[in-house]
A and B are shown apart, each in its own frame.
Chain A
Amino acid sequence: GAVVSQHPSRVICKSGTSVKIECRSLDFQATTMFWYRQFPKQSLMLMATSNEGSKATYEQGVEKDKFLINHASLTLSTLTVTSAHPEDSSFYICSALEGGGGTATQYFGPGTRLTVL
């Protein structure tokens, strides 16, 4: 099946710094990617939809100025957590959509664990 990678897999940063997370579709092109956040012992919550060549669509309650998303190519979307704070510590998971319409399949990356000190 299709493969989606994330980099880094784990990052620790100081409060106030910015962290960039990459999501790549390795063997297919994805005009649409999704970013999820998962707090400990909770489910995945959709943060935003990343569209190649256009602005991301954010879910209610997600600050677009804090979580910057750039989908500059058909195989790469980046999520930048700006001025990170301890409450941003979480597991961030991306997914990429292969195909379209009713047969589109969503492939997930392995996740990035962010710890903000």
Chain B
Amino acid sequence: SQQGEEDPQALSIQEGENATMNCSYKTSINNLQWYRQNSGRGLVHLILIRSNEREKHSGRLRVTLDTSKKSSSLLITASRAADTASYFCATARNSGNTPLVFGKGTRLSVIA
């Protein structure tokens, strides 16, 4: 069942600005992952953060995780037009071999 909720649903910013997307979930998790999807294309894995981690960086990406609030945020710094895409959070529950459950996604538009 769909459990993640991202906000905002849509975000439009100017190139060079930072973009912040938030994700909330309902059950306990093993890890939380963020994916990007360009229109009509497959998923691109961005970053994974485990339940015992609070913050993680990868290039221009910064992800935080607050398990007490069951929420995560994805920050993209110095955005570029090429960052225009939909971004999804996905959670993996504690037990193994369980499928990822995706949030509804945020559609990011970066205007040059």
The answer on a CB contact under 8 Å between B96 and A104 is yes
Q: List the A side residues contacting B1 at CB < 8 Å.
A: 59-60
The answer on a CB contact under 8 Å between B30 and A43 is no
The answer on a CB contact under 8 Å between A95 and B104 is no
Complex formed: what's the CA distance from A46 to B42 in Å?
Answer: 15
The answer on a CB contact under 8 Å between A111 and B41 is yes
Tell me whether chain B's interface is mostly helix, strand or loop, or mixed. Answer: loop
Question: A100: nearest residue on chain B (CB-CB)?
Answer: B96
Interface string of B76-111 (1 = CB under 8 A from A): 000000000000100010101101111111010000
Question: B9: nearest residue on chain A (CB-CB)?
Answer: A41
Complex formed: what's the CA distance from A100 to B94 in Å?
Answer: 12
Q: List the A side residues contacting B59 at CB < 8 Å.
A: none
Question: B6: nearest residue on chain A (CB-CB)?
Answer: A43
Contact of A101 among B96, B101, B104 (CB under 8 A): B96
Shortest distance between the CB of A18 and any CB in chain B (Å): 24
Interface string of A101-117 (1 = CB under 8 A from B): 11110101111010000
Question: A110: nearest residue on chain B (CB-CB)?
Answer: B42
Q: List the A side residues contacting B100 at CB < 8 Å.
A: 34, 95, 106
Question: A112: nearest residue on chain B (CB-CB)?
Answer: B42
Shortest distance between the CB of A34 and any CB in chain B (Å): 4
Q: A108-B42, A109-B42 are in contact. Are A44 and B96 (CB under 8 A)?
A: no
Complex formed: what's the CA distance from A95 to B105 in Å?
Answer: 19
Q: List the A side residues contacting B45 at CB < 8 Å.
A: 108
B47-99, CB < 8 A from A: 88, 92, 94, 96-97, 99
Return 30 A-B CB contacts under 8 Å, by A number.
A32-B97, A34-B99, A34-B100, A43-B88, A43-B102, A43-B104, A43-B105, A45-B2, A45-B102, A46-B99, A46-B101, A59-B1, A91-B40, A95-B99, A95-B100, A97-B97, A100-B96, A101-B96, A102-B94, A104-B97, A106-B92, A106-B99, A106-B100, A108-B43, A109-B42, A110-B41, A110-B42, A111-B41, A111-B42, A111-B43
For the complex of A and B, 10 pairs with smallest distance between CB atoms: A110-B42, A101-B96, A34-B99, A44-B102, A111-B42, A43-B102, A108-B43, A43-B104, A104-B96, A43-B105
